[in-house]
């Protein structure tokens, strides 16, 4: 794949350090699968696309390597990594453990403003689904879960989860276009919200378990469909 076909000229906020912005933008492109597993990431091409020297590019690629999203072969090349299924399972375990406690806490509160905000995220997802706008659908999905973390007073744990979520997020991106998947996500979010609003902590936790189990329960089928994208061991 030619990077020039994927990367437009990418404008950066000159008031911020460059390397973290390069990391964020490349991570988004990798997780969305616009940069597919196996794509070669040449520093000169990236430097040109971002209008930077190769130093911040190198630093960003090192961070992506630490997150397991690229493989760096010294003195040779850097490529987008395959999806590591074991790492995806670990990230899923972390997120499920944290969010079970979060929905339990939120269900014990009376917070109409939170319920209204979460419903707006679901409504935004519904609109994105009708438009077949998967990036907007995913953004609203993320906002739903992030808002729950913030309401529980553990916004920093959302950032922690995101450090390890690249592999499982890519699996979810592969799974999302499957028939009925987006509708199931919407139904799950509504059930989680309804149980929180009803102060039913047990029901909210059960709805969350079912919601987060969806993609990994289908991991074998996903791997069969995309054998060049995954790494099983």
| C-alpha distance across the termini of the chain, in Å | 25
* Cα–Cα dist 199/203, whole Å: 9
Q: What is the pLDDT of residue 9?
A: 61
DSSP bridge pairs for 231: 84
Antiparallel, parallel or unpaired: β 230-231 and 83-84: parallel
Phi, psi of 19 (to 5 degrees): -60, -45
210-225 residue pLDDT tens: 999 888 888 889 989 9
The CATH class, in words, for 84-231 is mainly alpha
Mean pLDDT of 171-193: 93
Could you report the per-residue pLDDT of 38-47, keeping only the tens digit for each? 999 999 999 9
Query: Domains of the chain: which residue ranges?
Result: 3-81, 84-231
Find out whether 23 and 63 touch, Cβ atoms under 8 Å: yes
Indicate if the pLDDT at residue 1 is higher than 80: no
Residue 53, pLDDT above cutoff 60: yes
198 Cα distance to chain centroid: 29
Q: Which two tokens stand for residue 173?
A: 């991106």
Residues 222 and 174: beta-carbon distance below 8 Å = yes
Does position 48 have pLDDT exceeding 70, yes or no?
yes
Tens of pLDDT, residues 202-211: 999 999 999 9
- Mean pLDDT for 154-165 is 93
Question: Residue 177 — very low, low, confident or very high, per pLDDT cuts 50/70/90?
Answer: confident
Question: Mean pLDDT, to the nearest integer, of 17-45?
Answer: 92
**Percent of the chain at pLDDT above 70?**
96
Closest CA to 145 of 108, 96, 179, 184: 96
User: For the chain, what is the mean pLDDT?
Assistant: 92
The predicted-structure confidence for 98-109, as pLDDT tens digits, reads as follows 999 999 999 999
Range 3-81: architecture per CATH: Orthogonal Bundle (1.10)
Q: 193: Cβ–Cβ under 8 A, 6 or more apart, which residues?
A: 115, 118, 119, 122
């Amino acid at each position: 794949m030619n990077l020039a076909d994927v990367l437009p000229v990418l404008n950066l906020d000159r008031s911020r350090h460059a390397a973290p912005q390069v990391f964020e933008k490349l991570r988004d492109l990798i997780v969305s699968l616009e940069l597919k597993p196996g794509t070669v990431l040449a520093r000169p091409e990236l430097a040109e696309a971002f209008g930077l020297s190769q130093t911040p590019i190198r630093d960003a690629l090192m961070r992506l390597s630490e997150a397991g999203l690229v493989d760096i072969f010294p003195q040779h090349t850097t490529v987008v990594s395959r999806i590591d299924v074991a790492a995806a399972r670990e990230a899923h375990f972390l997120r499920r453990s944290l969010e079970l406690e979060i929905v339990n806490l939120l269900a014990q509160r009376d917070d109409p403003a939170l319920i209204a905000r979460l419903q707006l995220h679901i409504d935004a997802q519904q609109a994105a689904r009708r438009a077949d706008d998967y990036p907007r659908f995913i953004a609203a999905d993320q906002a739903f879960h992030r808002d729950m973390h913030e309401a529980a007073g553990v916004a920093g744990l959302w950032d922690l989860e995101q450090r390890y979520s690249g592999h499982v997020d890519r699996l979810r991106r592969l799974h999302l276009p499957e028939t009925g998947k987006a509708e199931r996500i919407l139904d799950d979010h509504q059930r989680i919200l309804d149980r929180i609003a009803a102060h039913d902590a047990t029901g909210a936790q059960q709805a969350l378990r079912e919601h987060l189990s969806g993609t990994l329960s289908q991991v074998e089928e996903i791997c069969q469909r995309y054998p060049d994208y995954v790494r099983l061991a």
